[in-house]
Amino acid sequence: MLKLRRRVKVRLKKRYGQHLLISAGVAKKILDVAELGDGDIVVEIGPGTGSLTKEILKTPIKELHCIEIDPEMISELKKLEDERLRIHQADASEFDYCELGKELILLGNLPYNVASLIIEKTVFCHHCVKLAVFMVQKEVAEKLIKCSSWLGCFVNTLFQTNYVMTVPPRFFLPPPKVQSAVIKLVRKENKTEIDLKKYKAFLTTLFSFRRKTLRNKFTEDLLQKALIDPLKRVEELSLEEIQRLFFVYQLEGA
Ligand code: SAH
C-alpha cells in the first residue's frame, strides 16, 4: 500500500506499469510544452492518482477526458471536483479518441508496457489529434523520433516529432529501472491521404529481415520506378524514399 499524500492510498500494480510522477517540475514542463489554452479539449492517458491531472485543471482548457484502466485509480480521480473533468474507465490502447472531439491534445505519462500501442493508436486517430505530449521509456522515445523502426516511420509520416527531455528514474514512485523521456508529436498538415492499415502492413514487412537488401523484398522494376537503389537495406532509406516506395507499391497493386 502506497501513501502518497495523506488522502491518497493505492496499491500500485506492476501489470499496469504504474510509476507515478512525483516531480512538479517535470509535470510543469509537460504542460509548458503542450501550451494548453482556452477552449482546448485535452485527453490524459493513464492519469493514475491525478498528479498531472490537477496541473492540467489549473489551465483554462474547456474539457479534460481522463482514460484510466485501474478502478482503484478511478476512485482517486473521482475525488477531483471539476465540472470540466470526464473520467473514462477504459483501455487507452483500444479507445477511439475521435469520439471525444475534433482537435484533441493528448497528454500522459504512459504505462510503458502499452506505450507503443497507444502511440500507434494516436497515429490511427491523427485526424482528431493535433498534438500529443507523452512520457515514454527513453529507448522508445529515441526510436520514435526517427525512421529506424516501422513505428518510428509510421509516427513521423503523420507527426513532426521532437525529443523534449530525459527524465531520470528518481522522479517517479516507484522508480522505473530505465530512463524516461518526454516527446512531443505535432500533426503534420499533410495533403495526401494514406490508407494507414495498408501503410502499417507495408512498413512492418519492410522492416522485417532488415539485413536483406531491398531487391530481396521487391521487384527490380518496382524499385526502379520508385528511384531506389535495389542494393540498399531498409535502414539506409529516408522517410521520403519509404513513402515513395509505398506509393509505387500501391499503384502497382503489389
Ligand atoms: N499519470 C500518472 C500515472 C502514470 S503510471 C502519474 O504520472 O503520476 C501509468 C498509468 O496508466 C497508471 O495509472 C495505470 O493504471 C494506467 N494504465 C495502465 N495501462 C493502461 C491502459 N491500457 N489504459 C489506460 N490506462 C492504463
- 203 C-alpha to ligand 1 centroid (Å): 28
Query: Ligand 1 in contact with 152 (CB < 6 A)?
Result: no
Same domain, 12 and 39: yes
Q: What is the CATH number of the domain that holds 150?
A: 3.40.50.150
Query: Ligand 1 in contact with 101 (CB < 6 A)?
Result: no
DSSP calls for 151-215: HHHHHHHHEEEEEEEEE-GGGEESPPSS-EEEEEEEE---SS---HHHHHHHHHHHTSSTTSBGG
Same domain, 7 and 67: yes
Same domain, 221 and 149: no
Same domain, 137 and 222: no
142 residue type, one letter:
E
- 18 C-alpha to ligand 1 centroid (Å): 6
CB atoms within 10 A of CB 134: 25
Same domain, 107 and 65: yes
Same domain, 181 and 206: no
Determine what percent of the chain is predicted with pLDDT higher than 70. 96
pTM to 2 decimal places: 0.94
Same domain, 221 and 126: no
Cis ω for the linkage preceding 71 (within 30 of 0): no
**Rounded CA gap, 53 and 44, in Å?**
7
> CA dist 66 to 89, 150, 233, 248, Å?
8, 29, 42, 41
Same domain, 238 and 170: no
Residue range(s) defining the domain that contains residue 179: 2-187
Closest CA to 10 of 39, 51, 57, 38: 51
Closest CA to 154 of 95, 227, 220, 242: 242
Single out the residue in 187, 221, 241 at which a domain terminates.
187
If one counts the domains in the chain, the total is 2
Q: What is the CATH number of the domain that holds 246?
A: 1.10.8.100
> CA dist 44 to 51, 61, 65, 68, 230, Å?
11, 13, 6, 9, 44
Read off the pLDDT of residues 158-212 as tens digits, 9 standing for 90 and up.
999 999 999 999 999 999 999 999 999 999 996 678 999 999 999 999 999 889 9
Same domain, 220 and 138: no
186 strand-pairing partners = 131, 160
Single out the residue in 133, 163, 187 at which a domain terminates.
187
Same domain, 203 and 240: yes
**Residue 142 grid coordinates:** 529515441
Same domain, 225 and 183: no
Q: Do residues 73 and 47 lie in contact, with contact meaning Cβ atoms separated by under 8 Å?
A: yes
Residue 9 has a pLDDT of 76
Same domain, 146 and 237: no
Identify the residue whose cell numbers are 489549473: 58
Q: Do residues 124 and 196 lie in contact, with contact meaning Cβ atoms separated by under 8 Å?
A: yes
Read off the pLDDT of residues 33-76 as tens digits, 9 standing for 90 and up.
999 999 999 999 999 999 999 999 999 999 999 999 999 999 99
Among 15, 16, 96, the mutation site with the greatest number of ligand 1 atoms within 8 A of its Cβ is 16
Instruction: Work out the pLDDT band at 6, boundaries 50, 70, 90.
Output: very low
Single out the residue in 162, 187, 212 at which a domain terminates.
187
